[in-house]
């Protein structure tokens, strides 16, 4: 429906004023393209009581977007924030943009949500002016009412909503947004609106879902990646108490990464697990049974020792390296990483002959709906997906293997089923952050200024497993953060080659930036040490000239602004007391990075305790444009520090005989409460549009810690996680 007819239709069913809008496209741009099949990505509703609702297709997974988005709406539509609520949208790709990831929810909605809210406010003002027979210029919106300035008359939004819905929508070009100086709610640290339900237990996560007649299932999967079921004997499993069925599950549709296996279905999760323990099953190990960390490392070494495809080539790096006064070389390695979300993966699906209903903790409910359609053969209108809260996502819940399994098992047993992954299932059958290697060579002139930089990188490509081989771009999720190096080095070359692997991989919090941020900023520190220059002064000198650095991987994207990165670095250093004395046995290190259109710099303060690294303090500065909720921004950076330190100091995924060696938190460790450093977050004041914040706080952490450990011990950290033996 066109926007006007949609608003008019809404008024006839008592919804009050409803304004639809597209994320990531201004209304004016939408109006110029009336043939678009997707007219709305979200709705604003104002009802007869004057309450305001944002119907939002984005998933809330602990990052606080339901709070930030309602702050934007409340301020622009001019109501108190307490009068605004957010409603999770039904899954419908014709009306909503459902994907949640890439730190994009606030960034992608800020302009258009404000435009839509201002449109609703304009409608309400015009309706009140018409009823009073007064000029619109004499009327203003104020805290959920329209005020007639000369007489003081007031009309509440509730009374105006229905007649406002009958008015033609104004030309978007005539809708005036609030001046930033008049913001009352944007920029305030308002407590998150999901906290009360999470405290009192009424919030429903995926694992909390219960529907009538529901059964529970766990699945036995081949321990080696790419393996397949050979045979199974269900007799002992079926004899286990509570088990009602044992069924073979075929591999899922292409791209779902659901490997297939044997499902044990029971009256409780525990009974299903016990039944699976009793199952006799044999596997064909498949083509990747010989893969290991050693074979992958050998592949990385070969690929980074020879020239590869260059994605950036400034000047002549080879010639500058050949004539260098000082040459510095180093190799950095990073392992696979598990997402390890606290809430176990789960999917509750009820497949019937003519319809299917699913309750999912997912970052992409539309993709989930598409795959359930593919499994069942049902049309979109017959597949209903309810999106719940989720206990962590980090990219893992952007995949759909667990969802496909839920649909498959429900279809096989003809009952609603909740498929649950144990921690061991998730650790050993997940999709992982890629393993990678960087081999650096750099040259310094006689004055210690870097004149050449060569980075040869190899990793197991995320894109390689997704795309059509004829169209594949194996670097698409691999090289940003390395290819757009911000520092002024005249001869710079960055090469990439993807390594073959059977290990499934997936986006992990900050994706390639978590890999490249560590490697690049650690090697920059090596150059500073070789030049005998303070690491902060060394970076500031290379950022002295303001420049915009485009990523060759995304030439049409927003470039890196070195002025903003430099300001972030200076703020973090200042707040951390860079250069000031520390207690004996402690040292500082720093790093900075640009990702998801935001800037972050961090200073780490470390010591050694019984030979092992201990991080005492992290001081972070971030420039993410206008901060909608400063406390929310700080929380995101703090959580990034936790996640990054877990990967830097604790857990990693190792491969042997084509399988993951780790199984639970006893051998894939994460940061514990007593190990958490004090984290200080400083936000650069900005009037620019908001940019990402869920991920940019992560990339500088590991390098800042490693650089601090070098300052303390003289030992360079070139692989993660950091081992005490590397510092001895």
30 with 67, same domain: the answer is yes
Tokens of 528: 């500073």
239 SS3 class:
helix
Please state which of the ranges 4-8, 14-18, 394-398, 517-521 shows the lowest mean pLDDT.
Answer: 4-8
Q: To which H or E segment does residue 537 belong?
A: helix 535-542
Alpha-carbon gap, residue 531 to 525, rounded angstroms: 10
Range list of H helices, 279-361: 293-304, 317-322
Of 395, 420, 445, which residue sits at a domain end? Answer: 420
pLDDT digit string, tens, across residues 647-677:
999 999 999 999 999 999 999 999 999 999 9
Cα dihedral 24, 28, 32, 35 sign: positive
pLDDT average, residue stretch 678-688: 97
Model confidence at 41, pLDDT cuts 50, 70, 90, reads low
Looking at the structure, tell me whether residues 219 and 97 fall in a common domain: no
> pLDDT tens digits, residue range 561-608?
999 999 999 999 999 999 999 999 999 999 999 999 999 999 999 999
In the Cβ-directed half-sphere of 630, how many Cα atoms lie within 13 Å? Answer: 12
pLDDT for 251-277, tens place per residue?
A: 999 889 999 999 999 999 999 999 999
Asked if 440 and 455 count as a contact pair (C-beta separation under 8 A), the reply is yes
Residues 94, 63 share a domain: yes
Give me the pLDDT at residue 7, please: 42
Position 15 scores a pLDDT of 63
Distance CA 158, CA 142 (A): 13
How far apart are the C-alpha atoms of 593 and 521, rounded to whole Å? 8
Within a domain: 425: no
* Inside any domain, residue 547: yes
DSSP lists the bridge partners of residue 593 as 600
Note whether 245 and 333 are same-domain residues. no
Rounded to an integer, the average pLDDT of 439-462 is: 97
Q: Tell me if the bond preceding 579 is cis, omega within 30° of 0.
A: no
Q: Within a domain: residue 426?
A: no
CA–CA separation, 318 and 491 (whole Å): 8
Q: Rounded CA gap, 22 and 6, in Å?
A: 14
What is the overall mean pLDDT for the chain? Answer: 93
Q: What single-letter DSSP state applies at residue 162?
A: H
pLDDT value of position 355 = 97
Which position has the token pair 């049974």?
289
Does the pLDDT value for residue 482 go beyond 60?
yes
Return d(Cα 359, Cα 361) in angstroms, integer.
7
| pLDDT band, residue 467 (cuts 50/70/90) | low
Arithmetic mean of pLDDT, 178-194: 96
Write down the pLDDT at residue 548: 96
In whole angstroms, give the CA distance from residue 243 to residue 167: 60
User: How many structural domains comprise the chain?
Assistant: 3
Averaged over 147-155, what is the pLDDT?
97
Mean pLDDT, range 621-644, rounded to an integer: 98
What percent of the chain is predicted at pLDDT more than 70? Answer: 95
In a domain, 427, yes or no: no
Q: Is residue 587 part of a domain?
A: yes
Q: How confident is the model at residue 170 (pLDDT cuts 50, 70, 90)?
A: confident
The residue written with tokens 């207690």 in the block is 583
From the list 689, 510, 646, 479, the residue with the least C-alpha distance to 101 is 510
- Domain-embedded: residue 495: yes
C-alpha closest to that of 599 among 690, 488, 723: 690
Q: What is the pLDDT of residue 553?
A: 86
Indicate whether 331 and 442 sit together in one domain. Answer: yes
pLDDT, average across residues 379-404:
95
Q: Is 261 in the same domain as 324? A: no
Q: Detail the DSSP E strand segments found in 267-382.
A: 280-284, 309-314, 326-334, 346-351, 356-360
Is the pLDDT assigned to residue 174 strictly greater than 90? Answer: no
Structural domain boundaries enclosing 447: 293-337+432-727
Res 469: pLDDT: 66
pTM summary value: 0.94
Q: Is residue 623 part of a domain?
A: yes
What's the angle, vertex CA 561, arms to CA 555 and CA 564, rounded to 5? Answer: 155
492-526: pLDDT as tens digits: 999 999 999 999 999 999 999 999 999 999 999 99
Query: What burial letters (b/e) apply to 225-244, b meaning 16+ CB within 10 Å?
Result: bbbebeebebeebeebebbb
- Evaluate whether 459 touches 481 at the Cβ level (below 8 Å): no
Q: Are residues 620 and 712 in the same domain?
A: yes
In a shared domain, residues 141 and 193: yes
504 with 394, same domain: the answer is no
Per-residue pLDDT at 354 exceeds 70: yes
Task: For residues 476 and 358, state if they share a domain.
Answer: no
Pick the residue with more confidence: 35 or 389?
389
What's the pLDDT at 40? 55
Position 726 confidence tier, pLDDT thresholds 50, 70, 90: very high
Residue 56's DSSP bridge partners are 42, 88
**CA–CA separation, 67 vs 12, rounded Å?**
30
Are 350 and 211 spatial neighbours (Cβ–Cβ below 8 Å)?
Answer: yes
* Rg for the chain, CA atoms, rounded: 27
Query: At residue 526, what are phi and psi to the nearest 5 degrees?
Result: -65, -40
Q: Look up residue 518 and give its two tokens.
A: 């560590």
Q: Across residues 212-233, what is the average pLDDT?
A: 97
CA distances from 158 to 69, 77, 84, 114, 147 (A): 22, 13, 13, 20, 14
- CA-to-CA dists, residue 584 to 313, 587, 607, 615, angstroms: 44, 8, 9, 15
Reduced 3-state DSSP string for 590-629: EEEEEECCEEEEEEEEEEEECCEEEEEEEEEEEECCCCCC
Query: What residues contact 278, with CB distance under 8 A and at least 6 apart?
Result: 236, 237, 239, 240
Q: Are residues 525 and 402 in the same domain?
A: no
Chosen domain end from 148, 164, 199 = 199
| Residue where a domain stops, chosen among 386, 420, 454 | 420
CATH number of the domain where residue 697 is located: 3.30.365.10
Bridge partner list, 357 = 350, 384
Is the pLDDT score of 27 beyond 70? Answer: no
Over range 636-655, report the average pLDDT: 98
Report the alpha-carbon distance of residue 26 to residue 36 in Å, rounded: 13
pLDDT of residue 465: 85
Tally of CB atoms within 10 A around 589: 25
- 533: in domain: yes
Q: Are residues 104 and 242 in the same domain?
A: no
């Amino acid at each position: 429906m066109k926007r006007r007819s949609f608003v008019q239709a809404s008024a006839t069913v008592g919804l009050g004023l409803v304004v639809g809008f597209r994320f990531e496209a201004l209304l004016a741009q939408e109006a110029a393209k009336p043939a678009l099949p997707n007219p709305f990505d979200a709705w604003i509703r104002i009802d007869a009581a004057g309450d305001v609702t944002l119907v939002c297709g984005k998933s809330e997974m602990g990052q606080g977007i339901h709070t930030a988005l309602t702050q934007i709406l409340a301020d622009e539509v001019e109501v108190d924030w307490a009068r605004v609520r957010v409603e999770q949208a039904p899954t419908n790709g014709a009306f909503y943009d459902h994907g949640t990831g890439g730190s994009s929810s606030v960034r992608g909605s800020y302009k258009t949500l404000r435009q839509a809210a201002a449109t609703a406010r304009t409608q309400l003002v015009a309706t009140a002016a018409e009823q009073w027979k007064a000029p619109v210029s004499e009327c203003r919106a104020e805290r959920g009412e329209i005020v007639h300035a000369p007489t003081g008359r007031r009309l509440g939004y509730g009374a105006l909503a229905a007649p406002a819905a009958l008015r033609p929508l104004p030309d978007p070009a005539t809708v005036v947004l609030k001046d930033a100086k008049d913001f009352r709610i944007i920029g305030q640290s308002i407590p998150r609106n999901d906290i009360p339900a999470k405290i009192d237990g009424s919030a429903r996560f995926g694992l909390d879902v219960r529907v009538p007649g529901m059964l529970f299932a766990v699945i036995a999967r081949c321990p080696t990646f790419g393996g397949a079921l050979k045979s199974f004997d269900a007799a002992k499993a079926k004899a286990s108490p509570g088990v009602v069925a044992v069924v073979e599950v075929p591999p899922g549709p292409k791209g779902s990464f659901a490997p297939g296996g044997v499902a044990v279905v029971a009256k409780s999760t525990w009974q299903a697990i016990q039944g699976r323990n009793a199952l006799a099953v044999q596997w064909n190990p498949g083509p990747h049974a010989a893969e290991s960390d050693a074979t992958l490392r050998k592949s990385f070494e070969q690929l980074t020792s020879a020239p590869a495809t260059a994605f950036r080539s400034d000047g002549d790096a080879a010639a500058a390296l050949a004539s260098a006064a000082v040459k510095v070389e180093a190799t950095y390695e990073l392992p696979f990483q598990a997402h390890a979300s606290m809430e176990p993966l789960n999917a509750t699906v009820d497949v019937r002959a003519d319809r299917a209903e699913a309750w999912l903790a997912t970052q992409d409910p539309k993709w989930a709906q598409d795959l359930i359609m593919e499994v069942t053969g049902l049309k979109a209108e017959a597949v209903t997906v309810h999106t719940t809260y989720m206990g962590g996502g980090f990219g893992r819940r952007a995949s759909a293997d667990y969802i496909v399994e839920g649909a498959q098992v429900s279809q096989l047993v003809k009952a609603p089923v909740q498929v649950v992954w144990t921690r061991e299932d998730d650790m050993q059958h997940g999709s992982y952050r890629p393993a990678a290697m960087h081999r650096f060579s750099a040259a310094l002139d006689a004055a210690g200024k870097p004149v050449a930089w060569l980075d040869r990188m190899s990793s197991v490509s995320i894109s390689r497993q997704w795309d059509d081989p004829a169209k594949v771009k194996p670097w698409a999720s691999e090289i940003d953060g390395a290819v757009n190096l911000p520092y002024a080095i005249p001869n710079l070359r960055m090469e990439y080659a993807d390594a073959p692997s059977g290990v499934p991989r997936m986006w992990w919090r900050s994706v390639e930036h978590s890999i490249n941020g560590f490697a690049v900023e650690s090697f920059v520190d090596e150059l500073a040490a070789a030049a005998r220059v303070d690491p902060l002064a060394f970076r500031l000198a290379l950022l002295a000239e303001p420049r915009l650095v485009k990523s060759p991987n995304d030439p049409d994207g927003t470039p890196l602004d070195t002025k903003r990165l430099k300001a972030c670095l200076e703020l973090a250093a200042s707040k951390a007391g860079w250069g000031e004395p520390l207690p004996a046995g402690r040292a500082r290190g720093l790093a900075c990075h640009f990702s998801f259109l935001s800037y972050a710099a961090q200073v780490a303060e470390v010591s050694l305790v019984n030979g092992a690294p201990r991080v005492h303090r992290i001081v972070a500065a971030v420039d993410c444009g206008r901060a909608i909720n400063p406390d929310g921004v700080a929380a995101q950076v703090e959580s990034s520090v936790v996640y990054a330190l877990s990967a830097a100091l604790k857990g990693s995924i190792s491969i042997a005989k084509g399988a993951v060696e780790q199984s639970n938190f006893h051998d894939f460790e994460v940061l514990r409460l007593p190990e958490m450093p004090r984290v200080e977050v400083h936000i650069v004041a900005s009037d620019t549009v908001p940019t990402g914040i869920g991920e940019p706080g992560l990339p500088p952490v590991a390098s800042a810690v490693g650089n601090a450990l070098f300052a303390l011990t003289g030992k360079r950290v070139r692989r993660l996680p950091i081992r005490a033996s590397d510092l001895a």
